[in-house]
């Protein structure tokens, strides 16, 4: 049903058809559950529990929506775009976006925060330069996930070794063997795309015109990027994502009142009938709830700057809730375990075990629609199997991240795929072919498993380099 939905509706499949397909699939699974002796009450509770697992992600989505709206009103994102247009060269834009997002994500340990801040600004810069939105989104996501995966501050990077009993830094060092080659290959690919892009010679006049429009409509000054600085500092201090993003959104409101007073007044009271205080309240509440709207006289810039608000994330939340209903009933009825048991029957050697783990993690991202489940469930299932075959647990923790973490952003109805599409404004299936790091990582993991390269035996001391493999 999901395949039919994507085939028929293409980029619009996430705006209703995918949700219907997931809910219908949950209904079919429920009917099978009733046939197997499960009660409707228990399955209903399983669906509710599945949704509960994703509530944190939904709250973060709402916070990101409000952050985007307030940052557009405050001039935070426009200021980053303004200076980025003066610094970044179109020919090197894609690899630069990859590197910038990787560095930010390593520093703060969050792919979501990276994409919702620096990634959002890079998307705006690429649009003005006439570059490809899907390729830019692919570069942003590739860099964000590389940095997230290699950062000791990342929740998934801590979760995977915890699931199998491996030291965090042993896990990160072992991951470098698959993740760094993925990044370097991606860097070459993005460089080649940038050099051969027909839009590389973006007219200087159009870039200068865009900068002039931004300067005419906003107060472009370094203080307007204070919300971004605050967000990065809080993230590096390991403050939870929700209060960090909420603080960034509120900081945007304060900056808007101080540095963009004329814009706030015009947005809050276009006809000028409200008092200054009332207009300010209207502007801030509207930006947080429904997003920011501006009329610069340039249609392209208007579409870039008019965005955000909690309401912009409601369709994505609907998609996540539908997916978690399906995943919850599939797990409760044992249908998920049945699929995994069938996969294990084909395991013969190290290569097939690693391949099966990769495929299981990808399958969990598709069926359960959550990257944490794609790490926890296969980690729990295959831990004993890796030990029985004489393989050190860091092989499993690395594989869980190579597949579970990296492919989550490639599934439209997964929490990560839905978040990236909603935040960057590019459908998941449009950017997926260009998320090179995410695509290459599981392939390299399988190649290592098949060739037995950098596969550490169980008897080898934790943290030591392999001598023969």
What would the pLDDT profile of 213-230 be if each residue is shown by its tens digit?
Answer: 999 999 999 999 999 899
What is the Cα–Cα distance from 261 to 18, expressed in whole angstroms? 42
Q: Helices 133-150 and 120-129 sit at what angle, rounded to 10 degrees?
A: 150
The residue ranges of every structural domain in the chain are 2-54+314-451, 65-312
Tokens of 467: 């001598």
Cβ atoms of 326 and 29 within 8 Å: the answer is yes
Cβ atoms of 288 and 70 within 8 Å: the answer is yes
pTM, two decimals, is 0.80
What would the pLDDT profile of 373-413 be if each residue is shown by its tens digit?
Answer: 888 778 877 888 898 889 999 999 999 999 999 999 999 88
Give residues with Cβ within 8 angstroms of 439, minimum separation 6: 410, 432, 433
Q: What is Dmax (Cα atoms) for the chain?
A: 78
What would the pLDDT profile of 67-89 be if each residue is shown by its tens digit?
Answer: 989 999 999 989 988 888 888 88
CA-based nearest residue to 63, from 112, 109, 21: 112
Cβ atoms of 324 and 413 within 8 Å: the answer is no
Cβ atoms of 401 and 156 within 8 Å: the answer is yes
Give residues with Cβ within 8 angstroms of 60, minimum separation 6: 112, 241, 242, 245, 419
pLDDT (tens place) for every residue of the chain, 469 residues total: 877 887 788 767 778 888 898 899 999 999 999 999 999 999 999 999 888 877 887 888 898 889 989 999 999 989 988 888 888 888 889 999 999 999 989 878 889 888 988 898 999 999 888 899 999 999 999 999 999 999 887 878 888 888 788 888 889 999 999 999 999 999 999 999 988 765 545 556 777 888 899 999 999 999 999 998 998 888 788 788 789 889 999 999 999 999 999 999 999 999 888 999 999 999 999 999 999 999 988 887 888 888 889 998 898 788 888 888 888 898 899 887 787 778 778 778 889 999 999 999 998 888 878 788 888 778 877 888 898 889 999 999 999 999 999 999 999 888 899 999 989 999 999 999 999 999 999 999 999 999 999 899 987 644 444 444 4
Tokens of 31: 């009917």
CA-based nearest residue to 263, from 226, 228, 292, 223: 292
The dihedral region occupied by 295, where left means phi > 0, alpha psi between -120 and 50, and beta the remainder, is beta
Cβ atoms of 405 and 375 within 8 Å: the answer is yes
Other CB atoms closer than 10 Å to residue 310's CB: what's the count? 21
Q: What is the pLDDT of residue 168?
A: 84
């Amino acid at each position: 049903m999901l395949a039919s939905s994507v085939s028929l509706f293409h980029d619009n499949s996430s705006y209703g058809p995918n949700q219907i397909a997931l809910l219908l699939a949950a209904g079919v699974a429920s009917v099978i559950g009733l046939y197997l002796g499960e009660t409707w009450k228990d399955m209903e509770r399983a669906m509710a529990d599945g949704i509960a697992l994703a509530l944190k992600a939904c709250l973060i989505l709402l916070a990101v929506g409000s952050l985007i709206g307030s940052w557009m009103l405050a001039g935070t994102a426009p200021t980053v775009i303004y200076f980025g247009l003066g610094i970044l060269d179109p020919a090197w834009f894609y690899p630069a976006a990859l590197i910038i997002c990787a560095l930010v994500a390593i520093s703060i340990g969050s792919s979501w925060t990276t994409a919702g801040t620096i990634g959002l600004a890079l998307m705006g810069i690429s649009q003005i330069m006439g570059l490809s939105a899907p390729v830019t989104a692919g570069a942003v996501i590739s860099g964000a996930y590389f940095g997230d995966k290699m950062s000791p501050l990342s929740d998934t990077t801590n979760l995977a070794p915890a699931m199998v009993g491996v030291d965090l830094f042993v896990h990160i060092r072992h991951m470098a063997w698959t993740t760094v080659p993925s990044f370097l290959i991606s860097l070459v690919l993005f460089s080649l795309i940038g050099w051969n892009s027909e839009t590389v010679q973006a007219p200087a006049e159009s870039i200068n015109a865009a900068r002039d429009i931004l300067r005419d409509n906003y107060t472009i000054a370094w203080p307007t990027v204070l919300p971004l600085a605050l967000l990065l500092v809080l993230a590096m201090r390991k403050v939870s994502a929700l209060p960090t993003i909420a603080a960034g959104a509120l900081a945007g409101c304060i900056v808007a009142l101080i540095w963009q007073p004329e814009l706030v007044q015009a947005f809050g009271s276009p006809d000028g009938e409200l008092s200054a205080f009332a207009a300010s309240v209207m502007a801030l509440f509207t930006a947080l709830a429904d997003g920011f709207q501006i009329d610069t006289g340039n249609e392209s810039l208007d579409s870039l700057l008019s965005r955000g608000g909690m309401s912009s994330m409601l369709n994505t939340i609907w998609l996540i809730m539908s997916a978690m209903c399906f995943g919850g009933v599939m797990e409760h009825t044992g249908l998920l375990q049945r699929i995994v048991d069938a996969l294990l029957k084909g395991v013969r050697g190290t290569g097939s075990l690693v391949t099966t783990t990769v495929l299981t993690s990808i399958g969990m991202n598709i069926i359960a629609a959550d990257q944490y489940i794609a790490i926890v469930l296969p980690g729990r299932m295959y831990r004993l199997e890796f030990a029985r075959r004489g393989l050190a647990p860091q092989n499993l923790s690395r594989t869980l991240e190579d597949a579970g973490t990296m492919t989550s952003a490639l599934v439209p109805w997964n929490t990560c795929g839905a978040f990236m599409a909603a935040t960057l404004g590019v459908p998941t299936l449009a950017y997926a072919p260009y998320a090179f790091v995410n695509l290459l990582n599981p392939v390299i993991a399988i190649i290592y498993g098949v060739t037995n390269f950098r596969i550490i035996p169980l008897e080898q001391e934790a943290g030591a380099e392999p001598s023969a493999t």
